[in-house]
Amino acid sequence: MPQFDDLTAYLLTEQDARKLWREEAARLKKAVEDYDSSLSFSNKGFFDDGNEEGYKNLAKLAEMILAALSLCLLDNECIYVEFCKPLANRNRVEKLIQQARVSQTNGEWEESGQTSNRTSILDAIYSLVDYISAVLARLISQVATGRCWCDNVVAVLTQRVTKLKVLLLDMQTNTVISCQAGEALLNETDISNRLSNGILDEEECEEVLRMIDAETKEGLATAAEADAARYCVDQNRLRSGIDTIIRYILLSLRFQNRSGLSGTSFEICGMVYETGVEDFKALLFQDLDLEYSASSDQDTLNTAYSAFSILNRIMTQIDEKENGKPPKSSQTNKSLQTTVEWTYLEADKNNSCPNPATGLVYDASQKKCLVAVRAMEDIITAMIPLLLTSPMAVANLTSYRTMMALTSDTQNSVRPFKEKNYTAFFRMYTNKFEDDSKTWDVMRLSTAVDKQVFSRCALISGKDFSKRSDEKMAAKMAEVMQEMDRWVIDETGVTVACKFQVCSVLIVAFIIAGGGLSIMATGNRITGVDPSNLSTYLWVVAGVYLLICKSRFVEDWPWSDFLHFRVRCRSVSELHNISGINEQFIMAKLLHDERGGSELKTRGPYNKAFLQRDSADGFSIDCPLQMKTLLLSGLIMLKVVTPRGHALVCLDARRGTELKVVEHQGNQAQEHLICEDIHKLQDRRGQKKTEDKSRLQLMTSRELKWKRVQGVYSDMNAEFV
């Protein structure tokens, strides 16, 4: 069978390769099994303080490792070309060769500019590779259990790390070797561009296997060739997740300045919070380039728990280390300072965590730990696991685990660990970023948390949220939730039990009608009054009162429903009139349930945020959505820069979302909920000098083009129509 991540082409014997594999395997095994041991990046010979030079050196190291990773992918792609042509892709091979040429340039830079420090640079690169792989190995072991998962994936990681180190010894020479092999195969072999890329999902792998079986049945491939091709598909499955995650980390460490700021002016923020209704939990992330991603899939959040748990342990040890250091007197106001603040709570470890009885959720804007990280070693130690909490990383790892679970046998099944109830907030930033962002008219993710705009109690409590106790708000919300759970929702309406309203109306009507009956008993004792006429009049009044009360709540209330103490509401306003629940919370509930299998179909005029719409006979969304309602439902409005000014783009993190990303240079392949030309609407409102709320027009579109994401929209009083 072909050997993936083979080292023999780079002048290493098989015996030397096995020795290196055993050493790397022992190191990663220790990182996995000794969970209580601390993980840290250590290389005092190359890095010193966390200054601009330190960040530039980190970016250069990441670039070198990324170049070596491209060579690893190129060599494996050449195996596909030779042994499994349906899996190979000509465009991808050519792209990897081009990336390898760029890596050769990086090697020339290293030799010409850093010859005297080559040993220290190599040591720093190896230390960075060791730390990334150790954190990744520990994360893999805590995501799921099963020999098929842990043993195979860690073995693949061992081979990949070993080859990266061998390639980095002499990037110039190794680049020439790899590129020549790739070009020779392209010239000798005819392969197509049928598949989009070399990292396949499960469906594409199954398609390749079907093609292999078909060729075998038709006699176009021998049994040995078919076995080798199937082996290639299995190896592609094993390596796909590792390649994606390592590449994501290295690309993030290059500090490409896509946000328009300098490389040392950044903020990374990741949080898991509970909001909306029921047990809705979401993972939000703001990366180095100020791009935003989100996930609310339960499997992804379960994977994120392991990543945040590892990060919390690492930050605790950094905090203890920094507290033991003497204060640095040479620190000036103009020098670069990196700070980390965080909050992490688990339900079974801290009494302040979410209380199942009351639904009380910890407020992530309070009780934060704060540490100023001075050494570049500690900055790297914290940054790597923080990047692994990104929805992009944990969603890819979750998909990777799912694919491994589907392909494992019954004896070696892959089983995820039990879900945990937790909240987390981690933020790393520099003082330079704080200075640069002071004049921004948008909120960063951390600012939104501090202002409690994601708090589920805010909608229930109103403007005086800070004056009320969390316990009262949680109890009130639990009561409202219990009432809403009794609603019966169908395609066109919501049926609500209304015994109190019906009884109160009937009692008043019976009192009026009873008064008429009592007048009949007076007989002729009242001079000049006909008791029967007066009784009839009162009975008519009682009937009119019944009709008025029925029409007051809903447009159409059949007597059958009325006498069964229920009412079918066809709009948000009707549902509010009957239940007394805030219109915004009703819409938050409907938005939340829509991703949970709700059959309700909506119609206008304000139903743009709903997925199931354009129904002429649906449930009417007749109240404008407010900004807080969107946030509570998992819809985050982000302000972006467009060729015509500014617009809003929605980051959809509603229940069940596996992964959503809003990045710079918007992708037109995806449909987004947007609001165009908000600056014109704001200018028009300013010219009228009105105090009314901003009313922004929502729409869904693939056509909006934007250049840069600025942050979370800050107008909490805006209404969306």
Nearest to 720 by CA among 632, 651, 629: 629
Dihedral sign (CA 373, 376, 382, 387): positive
Q: Which pair of structure tokens corresponds to residue 542?
A: 């009682």
**Which of residues 377 and 473 earns the better pLDDT score?**
377
Q: What is the pLDDT of residue 205?
A: 66
Chain segment 600-617, per-residue pLDDT in tens: 999 878 989 998 887 778
Same domain flag for 665 and 542: no
Rounded average pLDDT over 633-642: 90
Q: Tell me the C-alpha distance between 417 and 613, whole Å.
A: 38
- In sequence order, which residues have a C-beta less than 8 Å from that of residue 64 and are 6 or more positions away? 103, 106, 110, 125, 168, 171
Same domain flag for 459 and 418: yes
Element spanning 267, H or E: strand 267-274
- What confidence category does residue 379 fall into, taking pLDDT thresholds of 50, 70 and 90? very high
Q: What is the pLDDT of residue 249?
A: 94
Contact 588, 477 (CB under 8 A): no
Element spanning 143, H or E: helix 118-143
Q: Tell me the C-alpha distance between 630 and 167, whole Å.
A: 50
Same domain flag for 560 and 587: no
Nearest to 335 by CA among 678, 717, 692, 50: 50
Q: Which pair of structure tokens corresponds to residue 433?
A: 């970023």
* 683: pLDDT strictly greater than 70: no
* 108: pLDDT strictly greater than 70: no
Last residue of a domain, one of 421, 452, 467: 467
* 8: pLDDT strictly greater than 60: yes
Rounded average pLDDT over 48-75: 89
Q: What is the pLDDT of residue 1?
A: 77
Same domain flag for 514 and 430: no
- For residue 612, the 8-state DSSP code is S
Same domain flag for 462 and 504: no
- For residue 639, the 8-state DSSP code is E
Write the CA distances from 632 to 244, 441, 628, 648, integer angstroms: 32, 22, 6, 17
Contact 384, 249 (CB under 8 A): yes
**What's the distance, CA 27 to chain centroid?**
32
| % of residues, the chain, pLDDT over 70 | 84
Phi, psi of 445 (to 5 degrees): -60, -40
Q: What is the pLDDT of residue 328?
A: 63
Same domain flag for 337 and 372: yes
| Length of the chain counted residue by residue | 721
Neighbours of 542 (CB within 10 A): 20
Phi, psi of 641 (to 5 degrees): -95, 125
Same domain flag for 412 and 313: yes
Q: Tell me the C-alpha distance between 124 and 126, whole Å.
A: 5
- What confidence category does residue 221 fall into, taking pLDDT thresholds of 50, 70 and 90? confident
**Which of residues 475 and 345 earns the better pLDDT score?**
345
Same domain flag for 587 and 560: no
Q: What is the pLDDT of residue 157?
A: 94
Q: What is the pLDDT of residue 470?
A: 61
Q: Tell me the C-alpha distance between 22 and 179, whole Å.
A: 28
Q: What is the pLDDT of residue 198?
A: 46
* 187: pLDDT strictly greater than 70: yes
**Which of residues 297 and 215 earns the better pLDDT score?**
297
Q: What is the pLDDT of residue 120?
A: 84
Same domain flag for 446 and 542: no
Contact 673, 307 (CB under 8 A): no
Q: What is the pLDDT of residue 202?
A: 56
Q: Tell me the C-alpha distance between 685 and 681, whole Å.
A: 6
**Strand order across the 625-626 sheet:** 625-626, 719-720, 695-696
Furthest CA-CA distance within the chain? 125
Nearest to 125 by CA among 191, 67, 199, 188: 67
Q: What is the pLDDT of residue 680?
A: 66
Three-state SS annotation for 566-583? EEEECEHHHHHHHHCCCH
Whether the upstream peptide bond of residue 605 has omega within 30° of 0, thus cis, is: yes
**Would 331 be classed as within a structural domain?**
yes
Contact 25, 183 (CB under 8 A): no
pTM of the model: 0.87
Q: Which pair of structure tokens corresponds to residue 318?
A: 């950094």
Phi, psi of 68 (to 5 degrees): -65, -35
Dihedral sign (CA 76, 79, 84, 87): positive
- What confidence category does residue 200 fall into, taking pLDDT thresholds of 50, 70 and 90? low
- What confidence category does residue 196 fall into, taking pLDDT thresholds of 50, 70 and 90? very low
Q: Tell me the C-alpha distance between 180 and 107, whole Å.
A: 17
**Which of residues 135 and 678 earns the better pLDDT score?**
135
- In sequence order, which residues have a C-beta less than 8 Å from that of residue 494 and are 6 or more positions away? 487, 488, 568, 569, 575, 600, 619
Q: What is the pLDDT of residue 362?
A: 47
Chain segment 484-543, per-residue pLDDT in tens: 888 999 888 999 998 888 898 889 888 888 877 776 666 566 666 666 777 788 888 888
**Would 232 be classed as within a structural domain?**
no
Whether the upstream peptide bond of residue 86 has omega within 30° of 0, thus cis, is: no
Rounded average pLDDT over 590-605: 85
Q: What is the pLDDT of residue 691?
A: 54
What mean pLDDT value characterizes the chain?
Answer: 82
**Would 640 be classed as within a structural domain?**
yes
**Strand order across the 672-675 sheet:** 699-701, 672-675, 645-652, 635-642, 708-712
Neighbours of 126 (CB within 10 A): 18
Contact 522, 535 (CB under 8 A): no
**Would 214 be classed as within a structural domain?**
no
Element spanning 470, H or E: helix 470-484
Please return the burial class of 418, using the count of CB atoms within 10 Å of its CB with bins 0-12, 13-18 and 19+. Answer: exposed
Same domain flag for 299 and 442: yes
Chain segment 240-288, per-residue pLDDT in tens: 889 999 999 999 998 877 777 888 899 999 999 887 677 778 999 999 8
Q: What is the pLDDT of residue 660?
A: 92
Give the alpha-carbon dihedral of 530, 536, 537, 540, to 10 degrees: 180
**Would 475 be classed as within a structural domain?**
no
Residue 153 domain boundaries: 11-35+50-193+246-252
Contact 648, 674 (CB under 8 A): yes
- In sequence order, which residues have a C-beta less than 8 Å from that of residue 280 and are 6 or more positions away? 274, 296, 592, 634, 655
Same domain flag for 273 and 403: yes
- In sequence order, which residues have a C-beta less than 8 Å from that of residue 5 and are 6 or more positions away? 72, 75, 76, 159, 160, 162, 163
Cα Rg of the chain (Å, integer): 32
Residue 258 identity: R
**Would 42 be classed as within a structural domain?**
no
- In sequence order, which residues have a C-beta less than 8 Å from that of residue 661 and are 6 or more positions away? 291, 292, 293, 294, 391, 392
Q: Which pair of structure tokens corresponds to residue 322?
A: 């920094």
Q: Which of 3-7, 213-217, 410-414, 468-472 has the highest mean pLDDT?
A: 3-7
Last residue of a domain, one of 218, 252, 286: 252
* Unique residue bearing structure tokens 């330079």: 432
Q: What is the pLDDT of residue 461?
A: 63
Burial 205-236 (b: 16+ CB within 10 A, else e): beebbebbeebbeeeebeeeebebbbbbbebb
Element spanning 681, H or E: helix 678-688
The count of structural domains within the chain is: 4
Q: What is the pLDDT of residue 528?
A: 61
**Would 220 be classed as within a structural domain?**
no
Q: Which pair of structure tokens corresponds to residue 377?
A: 């070693």
**Would 571 be classed as within a structural domain?**
no
Measured N-to-C along each axis, helices 118-143 and 147-168 cross at an angle, to the nearest 10 degrees, of: 170
Q: Tell me the C-alpha distance between 459 and 627, whole Å.
A: 10
Same domain flag for 326 and 419: yes
Write the CA distances from 128 to 82, 137, 253, integer angstroms: 33, 14, 11
* 194: pLDDT strictly greater than 70: no
- Which of helix, strand or coil describes residue 634? coil
- In sequence order, which residues have a C-beta less than 8 Å from that of residue 692 and are 6 or more positions away? 685
* 197: pLDDT strictly greater than 60: no
| % of residues, the chain, pLDDT over 90 | 27
Q: Which of 75-89, 315-329, 433-447, 451-465 has the highest mean pLDDT?
A: 433-447
